[in-house]
Amino acid sequence: MSTLYLTEQGSILHKTQRRLVIIKNKKIIQEIPIFKIDRILIFGNIQISTQALSFILDSGIICSFFSSQGKFKGSLRPVESGNVFLRIAQYERYLDKEFRVEISKTIVYAKINNEIKFLENYSKTNFKEIIEELKKNINNLKDKNSISSIMGIEGHSTSLYFKGLSLILKNKFLFEKREYHPPKDPANALLSFGYSLITNEIFSLLSGIGFDPYIGFFHELTYNRPSLALDIVEEFRTPVVDKMIVTLINKNIIKEEDFQREENSIYLNNIAKKAFLTHYEKRIQNYREIIKVQCHKLMDSVLNKKIYEPYLED
* Superfamily of segment(s) 2-76: CRISPR-associated endonuclease Cas1, N-terminal domain (3.100.10.20)
> Model pTM greater than 0.95?
no
| Tens digits of residue pLDDT in 107-118 | 999 999 999 999
Name the CATH superfamily, with its identifier, for domain 84-304. CRISPR-associated endonuclease Cas1, C-terminal domain (1.20.120.920)
- pLDDT tens, residue by residue, 26-65: 899 999 887 778 889 999 999 999 999 998 888 888 899 9
Condensed to tens digits (0 to 9), the pLDDT of residues 216-252 reads 999 999 988 999 999 999 999 999 999 999 999 999 9
Q: Any idea where the domains of the chain sit in the sequence?
A: 2-76, 84-304
Do 84-304 and 2-76 fall under one CATH topology? Answer: no
Q: Which residues pair with 21 in a beta bridge?
A: 14, 31
